[in-house]
């Protein structure tokens, strides 16, 4: 499943990035604490995908959220 | 010796410090963006630097002397999301680490986000400098039920750990003591090791560096880790100190890179993330589940799919009431009509006419184009109240954390013009002062974004001073006049932004941004920021207004004004359908757009509704003021600035003329 497809309110486990996603962005996510296996709460999908990781809230444009693979936690 | 003065100064400082038993030195505050470094800096030095609840607004290194130790200096560095450095901010911080000859590091971290903080700590721990971890925002962590075992963590990372609340000063008194402990300890007892495959390469590279460079500003191991992770600043430093030999080190990295399944930088960063995760797991005291905080709820509502818009409208309405109604009508009424119009100006005029024997000098002071009656009156009576209220409102919104939410809401609109929501901060600041906003485009991440937003600021964002005048004139006509003006400016903004995005090479960067918690604005901070901005503004505005007035006075005296008015007639009268005296306003507009708008304001009663709307549209789009052109030249270079001006002036007249032709048929 893609992060962009997760239901708002759900908790998901991060599985990885599409190889096509800019590596700079991948590094950026890792710096925010989003590593493989990390659980994330999906807060909303519109107008942007908003996720929470620990106590950091991130807004992610859908183009990027579609390149992030997650699984139900 | 070429650096003789420098060396003497250093020696003097050392001698002075030796006398009172301390060694002077430079301490650097480092850490993630928006964790409170600048507030800590203010606490430690008494020097105020820009504090903002918006990630990435400190773009330069600031320095000031420390209060807690004589002779010592503190550096405030731009936030780093991660090291090795990738962004401009991270490069600036890395340069400071390499070139500042630091005595110690203070990592300011966010107590409620321990994992993120520690992932960065693991880089600092390898730099070989004494360091202290200050877990700031302890108040927010407590409110969320997050607690940290400080002693345990301190043992594990081999550095003192303190808990602070920078905004209240809580816990910062323990910093000097913690620093002493940091000097005393000889590095961590057991340091973090990377997984074997990478650790071997790190050791190899570190050994190689220490064999060739006996003295390095940062420990060889730290340099090795950063170099292997492709930190451009460290690579440059090594190349400068090793010359051609650096090739060997690069070869070592390439060999390791090709043997590794993923880029080395990723492997290193992932290893640190895993270790940070382990440490956080071990030293985070169990989170007590708490009810959702008001700040969290508000923050969520502000970007809510449905509630986001009404909240935005509410915010806009409040800002309009404060700036547009209270500032631009009520306060300006007091200053312009009552204070200046009825008291100051008549008194000034009486005094000057009575005491200055030369007619022309008196005219220069208090005549139609008088330095006092035109220049100072415009600047102080008309403009000052508007910008003051604007900067206050802006500061409150900035401090509350609303702007990051706004960047989420505005992202779609900005994507049309090749930008992302991050550009909302400079664009909104442009409504206050375009020049200041042009400087703020530095917070955007790519050159392309900076060029597009600079161009749009110069073309289609009216500053508050101008906005005040424009609104004042248009509201005198009708609401639909205001609406026509607004839609024309938005139309130009979107069209030209869309074109610029098509024409300027490069890719749009999608928005990925952190949204800091909504916070109650700190009044002291808002006041300091407003005062700083106002001072900057007045220093910029008053000389230009005076110079502009002087220019008008001279042009009028030597009879050049009639000449310009005549020459501009075909364009101004024919094409735009304005009275020919309006040419003078455009001349004034060269100096500042608000000055130009005020020039049209002075013609007020002579203008028909159609002429007012056309005039306002044209002057809004007309050349940006001299000060902002200077800044564009400084930030983007002369060529880009010239190209922008070359585009903007014809566009302004073109659009004004088109609206004149269309609206003529309806009015
Ligand atoms: N609640 C709380 N807010 C803080 C604390 N320290 C800083 N802030 C706020 O956090 C925001 C970011 O602070 P700033 O110093 O600009 O962060 P920097 O980017 O690291 O320099 C500002 O709105 C500060 O008022 C703290 O300890 N507690
Ligand atoms: Mg700062």
Q: In angstroms, how far is CA B566 from the centroid of its own chain? A: 43
For A57, the enclosing helix (H) or strand (E) is strand A56-60
> Taking the domains of chain B in order of start, what are their residue ranges?
1-290, 308-663
Which of B113, B408, B510 has its CB closest to that of A56? B113
User: Are B514 and A56 in contact (CB < 8 Å)?
Assistant: yes
The string over B235-258, giving b where at least 16 C-beta atoms fall within 10 Å of a residue's C-beta and e elsewhere, is: bebbeeebeeebeebeebbeebbe
ipTM score for this prediction: 0.97
- Whether residue B507 lies within 8 A of chain A, CB to CB, comes out as no
Mutate to test the pocket of ligand 1, among B33, B39, B42 (most ligand atoms within 8 A of CB): B39
Q: Phi/psi of residue B285, each to 5°?
A: -70, 145
pLDDT at B642: 94
Looking at beta carbons, which residues of chain B come within 8 Å of A67?
Answer: none
> Taking the domains of chain A in order of start, what are their residue ranges?
3-72
Ligand 1 binding pocket includes B256 (Cβ within 6 Å): no
Residues B443 and B441: their CA atoms lie apart, in Å, by 5
For B148, other C-beta atoms within 10 Å of its C-beta total 23
Question: Which residues, in sequence order, are bridge partners of residue A71?
Answer: A13
pLDDT at B435: 86
Q: Residue A60 burial (CB < 10 Å; 0-12/13-18/19+)?
A: buried
Looking at beta carbons, which residues of chain B come within 8 Å of A35?
Answer: 270, 273-274, 277
Residues B210 and B227: their CA atoms lie apart, in Å, by 14
**pLDDT < 70: residue spans in chain B:** 1-23, 58, 186-190, 289
Residues B353 and B370: their CA atoms lie apart, in Å, by 12
Tell me which DSSP letter residue B455 carries.
H
pTM recorded for the entire structure: 0.88
Q: Yes or no: say if B513 and A58 are a contact pair by the CB < 8 Å rule.
A: yes
The string over B191-227, giving b where at least 16 C-beta atoms fall within 10 Å of a residue's C-beta and e elsewhere, is: ebebeeebeebbebbbebbbebeeebbbbbbbbbbbb
A3-72: CATH number: 2.30.30.90
Which of B120, B146, B515 has its CB closest to that of A59? B515
* B178-187 contact pairs (CB < 8 A, 24+): B178/B132, B179/B27, B179/B104, B179/B106, B179/B130, B179/B132, B181/B132, B182/B104, B182/B130, B182/B131, B182/B132, B183/B104, B183/B130, B185/B130, B185/B158, B185/B159, B187/B128, B187/B158
Q: Yes or no: say if B164 and B173 are a contact pair by the CB < 8 Å rule.
A: no
Residues B10 and B293: their CA atoms lie apart, in Å, by 51
Write out pLDDT tens, residues B423-482: 999 999 999 888 889 989 988 989 999 999 999 999 999 887 788 778 878 888 888 899
Closest-CA residue in chain A for B274? A35
pLDDT at B1: 32
pLDDT at B600: 81
For domain B1-290, give the CATH superfamily: P-loop containing nucleotide triphosphate hydrolases (3.40.50.300)
Q: Yes or no: say if A72 and A13 are a contact pair by the CB < 8 Å rule.
A: yes
User: Are A57 and B144 in contact (CB < 8 Å)?
Assistant: no
Ligand 1 binding pocket includes B519 (Cβ within 6 Å): yes
Tell me which DSSP letter residue B660 carries.
H
Using only the alpha carbons of chain A, give its radius of gyration: 11
For B440, other C-beta atoms within 10 Å of its C-beta total 21
A 5-64 residues inside an 8 A Cβ radius of B: 23-33, 35, 43-44, 46-48, 50, 54-61, 63-64
Most B-contacting residue of A33, A52, A60 (CB-CB within 10 A), to test interface: A33
Q: What 3-state DSSP class applies to B107?
A: strand
pLDDT at B14: 41
Most A-contacting residue of B230, B507, B512 (CB-CB within 10 A), to test interface: B512
User: Are B86 and A29 in contact (CB < 8 Å)?
Assistant: no
Which of A23, A33, A43 has its CB closest to that of B300? A43
Distance from CA of A54 to the nearest CA of B (A): 6
* B272-275 contact pairs (CB < 8 A, 24+): B272/B119, B272/B122, B272/B123, B272/B192, B273/A30, B273/A33, B273/A35, B273/B115, B273/B119, B274/A35, B275/B118, B275/B119, B275/B122, B275/B192
Report the mean per-residue pLDDT for chain A: 95
Residues B170 and B140: their CA atoms lie apart, in Å, by 13
Using only the alpha carbons of chain B, give its radius of gyration: 29
């Amino acid at each position: 499943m893609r992060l962009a497809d997760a239901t708002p309110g759900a908790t998901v486990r991060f599985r990885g990035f599409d190889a096509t996603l800019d590596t700079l962005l991948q590094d950026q996510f890792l710096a925010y604490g989003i590593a493989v296996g990390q659980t994330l709460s999906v807060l909303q999908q519109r107008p942007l995908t908003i996720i929470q990781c620990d106590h950091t809230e991130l807004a992610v444009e859908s183009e990027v959220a579609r390149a992030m693979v997650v699984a139900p936690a | 010796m070429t650096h003789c003065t420098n060396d003497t100064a250093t020696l003097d400082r050392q001698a002075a410090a030796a006398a009172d038993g301390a060694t002077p030195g430079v301490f650097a505050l480092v850490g993630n963006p928006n964790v409170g470094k600048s507030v800590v800096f203010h606490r430690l030095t008494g020097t105020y630097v820009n504090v903002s609840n918006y990630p990435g607004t400190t773009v330069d290194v600031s320095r000031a002397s420390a209060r807690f130790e004589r002779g010592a200096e503190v550096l405030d560095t731009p936030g780093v999301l991660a090291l090795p450095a990738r962004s401009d901010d991270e490069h600036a911080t890395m340069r400071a680490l390499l070139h500042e000859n630091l005595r110690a590091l203070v990592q300011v971290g966010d107590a409620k986000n321990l994992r993120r903080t520690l992932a960065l700590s693991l880089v600092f721990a390898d730099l070989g400098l004494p360091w202290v971890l200050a877990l700031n925002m302890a108040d927010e962590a407590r409110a969320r039920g997050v607690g940290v075992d400080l002693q345990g963590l301190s043992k594990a990372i081999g550095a003192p750990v303190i808990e602070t609340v920078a905004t209240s000063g809580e816990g910062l008194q323990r910093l000097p003591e913690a620093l002493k402990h940091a000097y005393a300890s000889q590095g961590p007892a057991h340091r973090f090791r990377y997984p074997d495959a990478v650790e071997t390469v790190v050791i190899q590279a570190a050994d190689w560096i220490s064999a060739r460079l006996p003295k390095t500003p940062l420990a060889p191991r730290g340099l090795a880790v950063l170099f292997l992770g492709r930190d451009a600043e460290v690579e440059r430093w090594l190349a400068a100190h090793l010359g051609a030999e650096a090739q060997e080190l690069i070869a070592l990295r390439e060999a390791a890179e090709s043997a590794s399944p993923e880029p080395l930088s990723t492997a290193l960063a992932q290893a640190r993330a895993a270790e940070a995760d382990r440490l956080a797991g071990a030293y985070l005291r169990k989170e007590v589940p708490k009810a959702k905080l008001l700040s969290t709820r508000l923050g969520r509502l502000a970007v809510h799919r449905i509630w986001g818009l009404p909240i935005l409208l509410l915010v806009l309405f409040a800002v309009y009431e404060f700036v547009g109604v209270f500032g631009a009508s009520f306060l300006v009424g007091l200053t312009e009509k009552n204070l200046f119009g009825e008291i100051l100006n008549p008194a000034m005029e009486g005094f000057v006419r009575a005491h200055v024997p030369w007619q022309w000098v008196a005219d220069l002071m208090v005549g139609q184009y008088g330095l006092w009656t035109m220049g100072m009156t415009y600047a102080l009576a008309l403009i000052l109240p508007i910008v003051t209220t604007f900067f206050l409102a802006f500061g409150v919104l900035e401090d509350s954390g609303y702007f990051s939410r706004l960047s989420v809401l505005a992202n779609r609109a900005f994507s049309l013009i090749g930008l992302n929501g991050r550009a909302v901060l400079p664009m909104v600041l442009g409504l206050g002062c375009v020049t200041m906003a042009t400087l703020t485009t530095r917070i955007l991440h790519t050159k392309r974004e900076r060029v597009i937003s600079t161009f749009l600021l110069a073309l289609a964002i009216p500053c508050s001073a101008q906005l005040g005048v424009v609104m004042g004139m248009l509201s005198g006509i009708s609401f639909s006049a205001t609406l026509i003006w607004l839609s024309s400016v938005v139309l130009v903004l979107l069209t030209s932004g869309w074109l610029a995005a098509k024409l300027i090479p490069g890719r749009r960067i999608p928005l990925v941004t952190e949204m800091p918690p909504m916070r109650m604005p700190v009044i002291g901070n808002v006041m300091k920021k407003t005062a700083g901005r106002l001072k900057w503004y007045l220093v910029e505005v008053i000389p230009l207004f005076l110079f502009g007035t002087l220019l008008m006075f001279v042009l009028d005296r030597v009879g050049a004004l009639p000449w310009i008015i005549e020459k501009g007639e075909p364009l101004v009268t024919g094409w735009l359908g304005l009275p020919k005296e309006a040419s003078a306003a455009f001349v004034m507009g060269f100096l500042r757009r608000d000055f130009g708008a005020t020039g049209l304001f002075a013609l007020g009663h002579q203008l028909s509704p159609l002429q007012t709307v056309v005039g306002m549209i044209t002057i809004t789009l007309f050349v940006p003021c001299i000060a902002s052109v200077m800044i564009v030249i400084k930030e983007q270079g002369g060529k880009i600035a010239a190209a922008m001006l070359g585009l903007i002036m014809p566009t302004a007249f073109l659009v004004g003329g088109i609206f004149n032709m269309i609206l003529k048929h309806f009015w």
